[in-house]
Chains A and B, each alone.
Chain A
Amino acid sequence: MDTREKDIENLKDYKYGFTTDIENIRAPKGLNEDVIKFISNIKKEPKWMLDFRLKAFQRFKLLKEPDWQKPKYPKIDYQDLYYYSAPKSMKDKPKSLDELDPKLLETYNKLGIPLQEQARLNGIAVDAVFDSVSVATTFKGELTKHGIIFCSMSEAIQKHPDLVKKYLGTVIPTTDHFFATLNSAVFTDGSFVYIPEGVKCPMELSTYFRINASETGQFERTLIIADKGSYVSYLEGCTAPMRDENQLHAANVELIALDDAEIKYSTVQNWYPGDENGKGGIYNFVTKRGLCKGKNSKISWTQVETGSAITWKYPSCILRGDNSIGEFYSIAITNNHQKADTGTKMIHLGKNTKSKIISKGISAGFSDMTYRGLVDINSKAKNSSNYTQCDSLLMGNKCGAHTVPYIKNKNFDSNIAHEATTSKISEEQLHYCQQRGLNPEEAVGLIVNGFCKEVLQQLPMEFAVEAQKLVGISLEGSVG
């Protein structure tokens, strides 16, 4: 067996589908003020944080669940979910990794994310979020030397309340849409990053999310602030066990880039996609929004979306600072009965702002994929430009690929260009590869990787390798 085949053997069935038996503490089932108070209380939050949550909850009660998206799903009973679930051993937070529950460590080792710092060779600082809470953050010492704050959200609320108070909810306010508001009310944990002025973060920061408990919604909140002239590259990975029920994941991610700062945010999303017949899987309804607040700032989103039963998200950039840049690179792959409605929003407010969107969608099996994007150039955004390219690849005639771009140009100095194509892998290309000795599956893998290359190049090395494998594996069995 060559290595590729081994990889496939390993990954053919969802490799991350195991569950871990860990005693949990849960909030009572359901959504009400008491549950919110319970969450706030167990996390020993200050009053302003509880007020923030309650304000969001008041708003949430007025909101209706949106239904304009392409993938429809059975109604979610929000009273039938647990909004907080944490490993019992985390109640009194361990002070160092040695005190961590060995079962947890084992879980992360299985996932290929050793939390022991000495075991890390490639120097990525990891924050691991298990169900509702952050369990460990590595490389703290090294980061502190540079003045970088990288910790769990709960810890940030305790230790850096000023920063959290100043920035939390400024990009995604508590009055935002249905799922974002829900998150504001019940979010449990997540990562917090602050890069001080002029600091280039010396290593990649990474968060690994895992849903373990059943009937649990995961609502984490991430806040990244890059102060003037700083740079950070942040990676996010996600997995969940195989369960027959659908689980909800509604996270909020807020990025803020001040003058001359740059944030690069990469996601490899591999939540459990459900089985071949579309049973189970994660509903990934995430709100990600970046604000280029300062001049010359830059935010770049890169995503590889292969998992989830339904992916419904639009990582966006608000380009408020003059000369700011927003970028969005995406590969979305759906197979079997997966559905995705994803894309981006680029809101140009400042002068000379630029944005670029490259989206590659691949659908196979019975799946359905939609690119939905907005480019909005405001009347004050003089001399701005946008370039959008979205390509779709279809495999078989049981799947669908849709492109729904919204283009609004209110400024005559600005240019918007949009291109989209939909096609299948041509017989000629396949024939050419097969003639040179590749079997049909390898040939498709090669062509698909070429199709995605523009996006894969944007990922940091370690992720790129994993993502490339994922691309091949996600399409396994869809050819011929």
Chain B
Amino acid sequence: MKEQLKTDFEKIQKVSSFSSKDVETKRFYLNKFIERGFPNRKLENWKFLDLDKIINKSINELSFYNDYSTTNKIDTSIFIDVLEHNKIIFINGRIEKIDFSYEDKNQIEISDDFKIDYKFDNNNSLIDLNKAFSNKYFKILIKKGYSIKKPLIIYHLTNEKMKSKNINLRLDFELEQNSSLKLIDFFSDITDTNFMNILYNFDIKKDSILKNYKIDKSFNKNIKYSYNNINQEKNSISETFIFSASSDYFKNEINCNLKGEYSSAFVNGIFSLKDNKQHEIRTSINHLVENTKSYQLIKSVLGENSKAVYQGRIYVDSIAQKTDGYQLSKAILLDETSEFNAKPELEIYADDVKCSHGSASGSLNENSIFYLMSRGLNYKESKELLINGFLLDVVEKITDVEIRNLIKNMIGLTE
């Protein structure tokens, strides 16, 4: 793989127009990645799902070079038509369309300057990979006082040209003071055995609101990793919802820094897995100043050799008094082949805080099934009704009514 990385890297540099300084920086990250490779179970954060092993097992000869010279045809049939929305369309990692037709053009700024930055310089080798291989990234700025009128949907699509490829994507968002953005990531891919590495950075300024919904709904055999880095200033709110169901492997990481007083972060997630799928959500909520709040709710329904992992971490700095942090994870195991692992972690250095977590896993309650059956439902219906109620709880946490209904319909939940 080492040779592959190097030749693909040189191949990319030949066709692109980076400055020699940028190439050097990229090469630095490439070498850093080569040194460490894909993360494996020896690393604490990857203990439960070993990406290195999964990639080796399911993809042979992963290639890092993508030909971005030709455009791809956009299949409009997959668009979500029940909701008016702005669009960004990625096909095979190539940006095909940016459409903000519902918005005031003066209030949104889109730039595609490429510059390497040293943000999130942590121990994550996948971020190094992203920095080495992502060609250019877009930065979307919502100006002061502007609330986006319609949600923005980012379509992540792939077509049959993709096989055993690695795609690296990067997007940056800045929400200026008192602005708001509703963002839906919609994954729809028909291909298999590709590895997608997606990196988002959000800077949320004072009094701004970010709502991010990630929906992984159509069945595919790809491996995905998504990393959201969120920085929040005073009085800002971030809401993240993850519906994790259909890729062969999907790990979502949320790293949220609550840097301003009275800022709050909400993370809600659903795992609905079967058929050998392995998914993970890992969150790290860092309470860095006084009076911040975080709330996390993760629910899983697992069957048929599937495995879900939730690693949630709440960090409270010694100056972050009056922190309110909460996490809850619940899982229903439908059969003997499914597995649920959790690591809800609290790391607390301040004394005047209220932090708690809870985790429960088990099978469907036989008494409840009996109750429903005695009222005329059959076994299957009773089971479905109970699961429906179990998951509905999470969807109800979505604050945007329009999007809540959309997601409810998408996953087939009824009230």
Contacts and interface: CB of A to CB of B under 8 A. Distances in A.
Nearest to B336: A412
A406 B359 CA distance: 10
B356 A419 contact: yes
Contacts of B349: 397, 399-400
Nearest to A425: B351
Contact of B359 (A395, A397, A401, A418): A418
B343 A404 contact: yes
A415 B333 CA distance: 10
B360 A418 contact: yes
A379 B336 contact: yes
Nearest to B346: A403
B344 interface: yes
Contact of A404 (B319, B336, B345): B345
A118 interface: no
B405 interface: no
A400 B347 contact: yes
B351 A424 contact: yes
A407 B343 contact: yes
Nearest to B44: A68
B376 interface: no
Nearest to A398: B318
B114 to A, nearest CB: 38
Contacts of B360: 415-418
Contacts, number: 116
A422 B361 contact: no
Nearest to A377: B361
B217 interface: no
Interface in A337-364: none
B224 to A, nearest CB: 23
A411 B336 CA distance: 6
A399 B44 CA distance: 24
A423 B331 contact: no
Given A415-B360, A418-B360, A422-B353, A402 B348 contact: yes
Interface string B339-375: 1111111111111111111111111000000000000
Interface string B135-176: 000000000000000000000000000000000000000000
What is the interface residue range for chain A against chain B?
Answer: 20 to 34
Contacts of A412: 333-336, 338, 362-363
Given A409-B333, A418-B359, A423 B339 contact: no
A256 B333 CA distance: 32
B321 interface: yes
B345 A403 contact: yes
A349 B336 CA distance: 14
A185 to B, nearest CB: 26
Interface in A349-394: 379, 392, 394
A405 interface: yes
A409 B331 contact: yes
A394 B351 contact: yes
Contacts of B319: 397
Contacts of A395: 351
A412 B338 CA distance: 7
B336 A397 contact: no
A422 B345 CA distance: 12
Contacts of A400: 318, 347-349
Nearest to A420: B357
Q: Which of B321, B334, B340 has the most CB of A within 10 A?
A: B340
A413 B362 CA distance: 6
A408 interface: yes
Contacts of A79: none
B360 to A, nearest CB: 5
A402 B346 contact: yes
A399 B345 CA distance: 17
A59 B342 CA distance: 32
Nearest to B48: A408
Contacts of B347: 400, 402
Interface of B: 44, 318-319, 321, 331, 333-363
7 contacts: A397-B318, A412-B338, A413-B363, A414-B362, A420-B346, A420-B356, A421-B355
Given A400-B349, A403-B345, A419-B356, 6 more contacts: A397-B319, A397-B350, A400-B318, A407-B343, A407-B359, A415-B360
